[in-house]
Chain A
Amino acid sequence: MPSNSNQPEPDLLQLRAILRDELISILETIRGAKSLVLDKDLAGALSSIVDFAVLKDHGVEKIYLLEPGPLPATTPSTGIIYFSMPHVRKMKWIAEHIRRNSSSPHDYSLHLVPRRTLLCERVLEEEGVLGDITVSEYRMDFIPLEDDLLSLELPNTFKDLYLDGDFSSIQYVARAVMRLQTLYGFFPRIVGKGDFARILADSLTRMRLEMVAASNASAKNTAVLAMSSVFDSVVIIDRAVDLVTPLLTQLTYEGLISEVYGITNGFVTLPQQQQQQQQNTPNTPNTASASQSPASPPSPPPPPPPSASGSGSAPRRKRLALNSQDDAIYRETRSMNFASVGSLLSKMSRQLQDTYESRHKAKTVQEIRSFVGKLGSLQAEHQSLKAHVSLAETIVKRTQSDDFNSLLDIEQTLVAGSDLSKEQMAYVEKLFALADPLATAPGVPGSDNVTSSTQMLSPPAQAPHSLYKCLRILCLYSLCRSGQSGFKQKVYDAWYEELVSAFGHQQTVTLDNLSNAGLFVSPATAAAAAMVAGKSNTNAQAAAINTSTSTGTGLLNTVAPSTRPRNSVHTNSMAFLRKSLNLVVSDVRESDPEDISYVYSGYAPLSVRLLQCLVRDPAVYTAPTSNRYASLLLRPLNMSLQTASNRPASLQTSDDGTQNTGGVKNGWTGWEDVLNELPGETVDLVQTPGDGDSETAAGAADAMIRRLGEKAPATLVVFLGGCTHTEIAALRLLSLQHNHRYVAATTEIINGNSFLDPLIQKNLPIK
């Protein structure tokens, strides 16, 4: 990333050090030897903060996973430290542990992550163990996975928000963003789209006011309330705004690794087959070596992290770290369209070969010495190259399969706005008919361990016809075809029956979930909802005005979060958005991308397009030359009318002529018609250094933003409900183009499978 040296760059990796120090100080609260009991949902995230050696240094002898039933083999160590999400179920498990061990009491402490809740304490109290355990919290906020990527690693946020109506995660995100604000100063502007984006913005405002109040009440600490000179704004994208993107097959290298193998907490788990190819390279730097403590008894299976693959549980799998800090090759390739990864890898291996060859040319002692000096890094590069070549080979096998291409073809057809052809429909039929109901999919938690019969047999090049694959197509169809008469009730009914026949009766629950989340909606239901929405349109707007003036009643009372557009004026929102935002781009240069649509070989993620709207990136405006468009072009430009004919975006209007043109400008002004077609509330707030926030439009506030925010070198983009690797890649491309850092902060990193997984009704184990 070309960085402007004189501007402060946020060093996000420092967050990891903060988290690590806090974790260690927790370990030190218990004297002597101790055991850790980790929530499964947290184990991976914690392992990316500390490794086992550090834990061991601080007296951790054993690590267990938090599961129902007794604590495995009561240990002689005195302290037992739990790390758990604040889930009622898990509190009951812990209570069970304590009661069972009442004969040999331990020193129990529980650290709720990311937050201590009253509810959990009440549950522990009800269970009668609150007196036996010290409860506190471990505030695991954003974990920096990369220097431009933060993640809460919170699973299931989209489902929690839009299916269950459980908005706990908003509070977690708000707290995490507040931590960033205390580190880097308050973001001068908060913009966003989506109902929960609005609720998050509201929480942020409230927290800030409380902070102001608290600091007024105590010391005069003005430093706490300074405006950020690092971030110009925070852009909040609610996943509900863009449901299409995560359903598509990601076509970047990183995205495809995620689609083929699944990436969890920055690691990819490879089957043995791949490992053997690397067997002659025992000391690969990327592969965390199994450092499981020998003291561990064989009976309790050690969790996969933080001790690498684990010694006994899954010997035939291995974890490969995917991060740009230690792996230069990955840094180069991760965000590329996969079509050009192959040639780059071969170019790299040729270069490597040349460098190796240079030893023959080395004549003098100095030359030889300099070569030997490079040897270490060369070998590391060699190992990494080998790993990636073998990964890429498998992925190529997959991308060349008929199956993959049929699927891709369907996706592209749908996002382009066309209906499926007869052949494509036939392919969907085949998917259902030959489906494997037990198959899991990459990216889904547990897919590492559970292997269905077909998966065992089929090479990774061939994906089983899993439920996930079917649902992704169905949902995509529903999202792209609804609104017009494109989605026929007959088709919906047939698919409903197909799905239940293929995957079992419990899928009726899944289908209901998908419908409630707005992902796969019966045309009849959609029509009914549209009617209601149309009627309550005015009400909703009135309510919106109400809430904007005072947060007296609370947004949650007035806003019913929904994934459907509320103020739509177009019958076919998708088509309108496709045109207005230039979502489908026909000529994509995959090797030297100019536009973010390269990540899906022709489809630009809507979420990132929205960011481009805020940034006034010309890429949103280019293409069609209809009359409608000419007027569209004029919109955001009260400043430079003369350029309206061509590329009107403010990217060219910066006075000093530098390329530092990224960053949010003027909020959403000019994009109202687009926003109307998207679900959820619109957020556009200005945070001023004084108390109190105001809705924007105040000229003074804008001026202040210009002063404060203009030079700020970064923008925080928060994805509520997860983001994909492709969206991150798209942000990286924008960062390069705009010479401005877009930092992605997400609740979790998803692919289509992990996005849908929480909505799927699992078959319970037989009683």
Chain B
Amino acid sequence: MNSIHPANEWLAMHDTFYRKHRIYQMQWAELDLSKFRVAASSFGGPIALFRDDRQLLEAGSGPLLDSAIRVYSASGNLIGKIEYDGLHIAAFSWNAREQLLCVQEDGNVRVFSLDDSHQASFSLGPEAKEKGIIDVRFWDQGLVALTGDYRFVYVNDIGEPKPKMLANAHITEMPHSWTIVPPHLTLSHHVEVLVSVGATILSIDAAGVQDQLLDQGPYACISVSPNGRLVSLCSDRNCVQVVSMDFQRSFSEYHHEQPGDVPVEIAWCGSDAAVVNFSSQVLLVGPFGETLSFPHDTPAHLVQEPDGVRIFGALEHSFLCKVGAESKSVFQIGSTSPSALLYDALESMRQHSSRADEIVRSIRDEMPAAVDTCIAAAGAEPIVEYQQSLLRAASLGKSFLAMYNGDKLVDMCRSLRVINCLASYDVGIPATLMQFQSLPFEEWVQRLLNRNKHQLALHVCRYMEEPSDQVYIHWACAKIRASSTLDDDALYRVLRERLDHLQPAGISSYVDIAEVANTCGYQRLAIKLLQHEPRAANQVPLLISMGQEEAAMAEAIRSGDSDLVYFVIFHLFKAMPLADFFQVIGRTKVAGQLFEKYCIDQDAPVLEDYYFQDDAFAKSARLILIENLGERDVAKLVANLKVALKMLHNDKTAALETHAMDTQIKLLQTQHQLEQDTPGHIFVGLPLNQTLALCLTLGNYSRASKLRNEYKVPERRYYWIKLHALVVRRDWAELARLANAKKSPIGYRPFVDECIQALQYQEAAKYITRCEPPSERATLYLKIGFYHEAAQAAAASKDVDTLRQVRSAARDPTLQHDVALMIDQITSRS
């Protein structure tokens, strides 16, 4: 036990303790940080350094001051170097995936990844380009940039950048300071900006600007607490203030009386203490205005973590956080809590003292809580020896319990082992347990992979019994990128051998590897690898980008996803000569059909060519027909349809269609003529039957009759149409003529029905006598209220039921009497 006791590092502030623990002695050799611009990633991520080009440079000040961005691990080991040849950088920062975002002054953003696997760039839009970018603030997914005319551009999702402007606050001078409130902390779920302008602070979002009406500004730095409830401010008169997010309530205020000390930055340690980085010291300001001071000689930088603040300078890297209740319970001087006793017991046992037994007995019922507390305290403890002691204490306590689920202890041991591994100088990711648990496990594996620590990543995955596919995929990608001597086949063999050997079950996705192979120029390798990919959706775009159109089409169809097929079709349509395209499309029915539908949806004229090339005459004709449905110019219409007719003549199976087309052309000409003969009526476009009907309703009987012959309208249909038209026209004389011309082919019942429907009962009655069979007649008479006739007809056909109905319907007593007699007659006779 040669480490200092944890409690020795504790510093009391009011009723709580804070602990500043040195995690690393920086491995970079005495770097003068003041010459650099610094961006450090949270969750123990890397630190990027870039020569501050706004500072004058001494001649011959060393190779470190060239135009490269150097990336160090948190322990100060150089892990990467990005040659930067772009314009001046306005700001740079790490995103959640450990990619470095550099915002140039011309509004372009460049994205670099640690392992060179990814490079991208996008623009912040025309306004940014025109006015230039002065400063930028970042959050996990997005960023807000301050333009040269003091407006704010924001991007919500860097993966899919859509730069948008925040509301115009009409700021005319450079803001003293500003910060953002990331979307997950605002009520509106949209990003907001807090800007110190004059003596006040403006909060700006996409919808509007709100003046918070403060009077103690200007503020040199602003910071929003991790839970989004509080804001800490430091005015340029060194007054530190903590206020509520809505600026309505002030919680603590502290005046830092040390002239010459300039506030550099401000951060939060947890959610209840602000950390201000002055030029000569770091000051922790608690909720009640009490402070702790940590002086420093060389410039220091703060990195806000969810559970504390990391402070690093040229020499060392330390972590400042609040001491948790569990640690306090075990280690606080004079603590008599069960966990402290248990820890004591362990010490006694190590010294082979019998007191150990006594102590354990005295804990009794509180043992489970004591064990739990020791485990939790181990999680919060940065020094490995104390972690071990605490876990041993927990283990000791556990052995006195009959029922205790040991999973918690096992999990803690495992997690701590991984965390300690990550925190080693070699890796340099100093994450706390709380940080470790708040990111998914894959993220941590990814961080190892970013640093090309494949072996370690694999061990960690196996140790934690988590799937290790991503390790293999990353390894394979790196392997392909790194190899320069092997050809496709050799590389393929190497990859397969290694992957099969290590992961016999196969890895879940080959697309990423294939993509890397493709970009590195190993196209054959990419195709080979893709054959192992189970998901068609992943293959198709890559196959297309490799020019493997046929394979892409086959895969798209295999996927059963029409969108993918469309995607391929669309691509081919743009990329290929039309004739070739038609051939490819025509080869698969599925694609052909989808292409047709796409064209119809788009009204694309290319469909005509497609049908023509395919000798699809009937389809071509149909297309012409459909296209001309809205055409009112008869001459043009007829001409077009004649073209269609010509096509149809080529297709012997379309006899009916051909005939219909022929008839339609004739009909259109007839209709045109009719329109000229009877102005004011529209004939063109009517179906044949309606043309007839209109003729008839206009009283043009002879013309109708001519039409009927010309178009060979069946007699029965003609009778129906004429009958209906005449009734509509109320031309009873003509109707009688129609009925009498010869025996009606449709019978006379329709005459009656049509008249009844037109409420012409007298007319209807005329035709009832001619209805067959006679038994029907009585009901028909009854329907129109002709009771006498109904009675007679019913009597004639001996229809007693109808007679009874007549009797009950009729109002005339004599008729009723007669009907009764008839009923008697019929019933008695039978």
- Contact A166-B162, Cβ < 8 Å, known A217-B467, A437-B687, A767-B630: no
Task: Say which residue of A32, A509, A511, A551 sits within 8 Å of B558 (CB atoms).
Answer: A551
Asked if A168 contacts B563 (CB within 8 A), the reply is yes
- Contact A555-B467, Cβ < 8 Å, known A165-B590, A498-B717, A512-B657: no
Q: What is the distance, in angstroms, from A650's C-beta to the closest C-beta of chain B? A: 34
**B216 beta carbon closer than 8 Å to chain A:** no
Q: What is the distance, in angstroms, from B804's C-beta to the closest C-beta of chain A? A: 20
Task: Say which residue of A206, A219, A554, A764 sits within 8 Å of B557 (CB atoms).
Answer: A554
**B295 beta carbon closer than 8 Å to chain A:** no
- Contact A78-B467, Cβ < 8 Å, known A87-B601, A89-B601, A118-B563: no
Q: What is the distance, in angstroms, from A180's C-beta to the closest C-beta of chain B? A: 19
Residues of A within 8 A of B721 (CB): 433-434
Stretch at the interface among A230-238, A500-508, A720-728: A500-508
Task: Say which residue of B207, B509, B688 sits within 8 Å of A501 (CB atoms).
Answer: B688
B residues 429-453 with Cβ under 8 Å of A?
Answer: 440-442
- Complex CA–CA separation, A218 to B720 (angstroms): 74
Asked if B561 contacts A171 (CB within 8 A), the reply is yes
Q: Kindly report which residue of chain B lies nearest to residue A217, judged by CB atoms.
A: B508
Q: What is the distance, in angstroms, from B755's C-beta to the closest C-beta of chain A? A: 14
Asked if B687 contacts A502 (CB within 8 A), the reply is yes
Give 1 or 0 for each of B681-700: 1 = CB within 8 Å of chain A CB. 00001111110000000000
**A658 beta carbon closer than 8 Å to chain B:** no
Asked if B632 contacts A555 (CB within 8 A), the reply is no
Residues of B within 8 A of A131 (CB): 162
Asked if A31 contacts B750 (CB within 8 A), the reply is no
- Contact A119-B690, Cβ < 8 Å, known A31-B188, A78-B207, A170-B560: no
Asked if B597 contacts A118 (CB within 8 A), the reply is no
Residues of A within 8 A of B746 (CB): 426, 430
- Complex CA–CA separation, A219 to B469 (angstroms): 11
Q: What is the distance, in angstroms, from A564's C-beta to the closest C-beta of chain B? A: 16
Asked if B720 contacts A434 (CB within 8 A), the reply is yes
- Complex CA–CA separation, A202 to B689 (angstroms): 49
Give 1 or 0 for each of B551-577: 1 = CB within 8 Å of chain A CB. 000100111111110110010000000
**A432 beta carbon closer than 8 Å to chain B:** yes
A residues 198-233 with Cβ under 8 Å of B?
Answer: 199, 202-203, 206, 209-210, 213-214, 216-220
- Complex CA–CA separation, A203 to B596 (angstroms): 24
Task: Say which residue of B564, B570, B618, B688 sits within 8 Å of A122 (CB atoms).
Answer: B570
Residues of B within 8 A of A500 (CB): 660, 663, 687-688
- Complex CA–CA separation, A509 to B469 (angstroms): 55
A residues 401-451 with Cβ under 8 Å of B?
Answer: 426, 429-430, 432-435, 437
Residues of B within 8 A of A220 (CB): 466-467
Asked if A28 contacts B601 (CB within 8 A), the reply is no
Asked if A213 contacts B534 (CB within 8 A), the reply is yes
Task: Say which residue of A217, A509, A556 sits within 8 Å of B590 (CB atoms).
Answer: A556
**A88 beta carbon closer than 8 Å to chain B:** yes
**A330 beta carbon closer than 8 Å to chain B:** no
Q: What is the distance, in angstroms, from B634's C-beta to the closest C-beta of chain A? A: 12
Q: Kindly report which residue of chain A lies nearest to residue B658, judged by CB atoms.
A: A508
**A53 beta carbon closer than 8 Å to chain B:** no
Asked if A167 contacts B560 (CB within 8 A), the reply is yes
Asked if A164 contacts B560 (CB within 8 A), the reply is no
**B631 beta carbon closer than 8 Å to chain A:** yes
Residues of A within 8 A of B596 (CB): 164
Residues of A within 8 A of B566 (CB): 117-119
- Contact A199-B560, Cβ < 8 Å, known A131-B162, A164-B597, A435-B689: yes
**B593 beta carbon closer than 8 Å to chain A:** yes
- Complex CA–CA separation, A502 to B686 (angstroms): 9
Task: Say which residue of A509, A511, A522 sits within 8 Å of B625 (CB atoms).
Answer: A509
Asked if B560 contacts A213 (CB within 8 A), the reply is no
Q: Kindly report which residue of chain A lies nearest to residue B648, judged by CB atoms.
A: A508
Task: Say which residue of A166, A437, A511, A765 sits within 8 Å of B630 (CB atoms).
Answer: A765
B residues 625-653 with Cβ under 8 Å of A?
Answer: 625-626, 629-632
Using C-beta atoms within 8 Å of the partner chain, give the interface range for chain A: 35 or more
**B676 beta carbon closer than 8 Å to chain A:** no
Asked if A429 contacts B632 (CB within 8 A), the reply is no
- Complex CA–CA separation, A501 to B708 (angstroms): 12
Asked if A555 contacts B563 (CB within 8 A), the reply is no
Q: What is the distance, in angstroms, from A723's C-beta to the closest C-beta of chain B? A: 22
**A134 beta carbon closer than 8 Å to chain B:** yes
- Complex CA–CA separation, A508 to B628 (angstroms): 14
- Contact A509-B626, Cβ < 8 Å, known A119-B566, A213-B508: yes
Q: Kindly report which residue of chain A lies nearest to residue B597, judged by CB atoms.
A: A164
Q: Kindly report which residue of chain B lies nearest to residue A429, judged by CB atoms.
A: B716
Residues of A within 8 A of B98 (CB): none
- Complex CA–CA separation, A497 to B598 (angstroms): 31
- Complex CA–CA separation, A166 to B594 (angstroms): 6
State the main secondary structure of chain B at its contact with A.
Answer: helix
Task: Say which residue of B557, B560, B661, B690 sits within 8 Å of A171 (CB atoms).
Answer: B560
Q: What is the distance, in angstroms, from B601's C-beta to the closest C-beta of chain A? A: 5
Asked if A433 contacts B467 (CB within 8 A), the reply is no
**B190 beta carbon closer than 8 Å to chain A:** yes
- Complex CA–CA separation, A766 to B566 (angstroms): 31
Q: Which interface residue of B189, B590, B724 has the most chain A CB atoms within 10 A?
A: B590
Asked if A508 contacts B660 (CB within 8 A), the reply is yes
Q: What is the distance, in angstroms, from A5's C-beta to the closest C-beta of chain B? A: 34
Asked if B508 contacts A493 (CB within 8 A), the reply is no
**B535 beta carbon closer than 8 Å to chain A:** yes
Q: Which interface residue of A119, A220, A512, A767 has the most chain B CB atoms within 10 A?
A: A119
- Complex CA–CA separation, A661 to B811 (angstroms): 62
Residues of A within 8 A of B760 (CB): none
Asked if B467 contacts A119 (CB within 8 A), the reply is no
Asked if B205 contacts A556 (CB within 8 A), the reply is no
- Contact A209-B534, Cβ < 8 Å, known A122-B570, A556-B557, A761-B626: yes
Q: What is the distance, in angstroms, from B674's C-beta to the closest C-beta of chain A? A: 16
**B470 beta carbon closer than 8 Å to chain A:** yes
**A280 beta carbon closer than 8 Å to chain B:** no
Asked if A496 contacts B656 (CB within 8 A), the reply is yes
Residues of B within 8 A of A553 (CB): 554, 558
Q: Kindly report which residue of chain B lies nearest to residue A130, judged by CB atoms.
A: B162
Asked if A554 contacts B602 (CB within 8 A), the reply is no
- Complex CA–CA separation, A493 to B618 (angstroms): 18
- Contact A166-B593, Cβ < 8 Å, known A500-B660, A501-B687: yes
Residues of B within 8 A of A328 (CB): none
Asked if B560 contacts A433 (CB within 8 A), the reply is no
Residues of B within 8 A of A166 (CB): 562, 593-594, 597
**B664 beta carbon closer than 8 Å to chain A:** yes
- Contact A122-B597, Cβ < 8 Å, known A166-B562, A434-B720, A767-B631: no
**A638 beta carbon closer than 8 Å to chain B:** no
- Complex CA–CA separation, A506 to B629 (angstroms): 8
**B359 beta carbon closer than 8 Å to chain A:** no
- Complex CA–CA separation, A261 to B393 (angstroms): 79
- Complex CA–CA separation, A551 to B661 (angstroms): 45
Q: Kindly report which residue of chain B lies nearest to residue A528, judged by CB atoms.
A: B653
Residues of A within 8 A of B686 (CB): 504
Q: Which interface residue of A29, A508, A551, A555 has the most chain B CB atoms within 10 A?
A: A508
Q: What is the distance, in angstroms, from B647's C-beta to the closest C-beta of chain A? A: 13
Residues of A within 8 A of B469 (CB): 216-217
**B164 beta carbon closer than 8 Å to chain A:** yes
Give 1 or 0 for each of A633-647: 1 = CB within 8 Å of chain B CB. 000000000000000
Please give 13 more A-B residue pairs, beta carbons under 8 A apart, in addition to A433-B716, A433-B724.
A28-B189, A31-B188, A118-B564, A119-B567, A210-B534, A218-B442, A219-B441, A429-B716, A437-B687, A509-B625, A511-B656, A512-B618, A767-B630
Give me 25 A-to-B residue pairs in the complex whose CB atoms sit less than 8 angstroms apart, sorted by A's number: A29-B189, A78-B207, A117-B566, A118-B566, A164-B597, A166-B597, A174-B560, A210-B535, A216-B467, A220-B466, A429-B716, A430-B720, A501-B711, A502-B687, A504-B687, A505-B667, A506-B625, A511-B656, A555-B560, A556-B557, A556-B590, A764-B626, A766-B632, A767-B631, A767-B632
Top-3 shortest CB links A-B: A165-B593, A554-B558, A433-B720
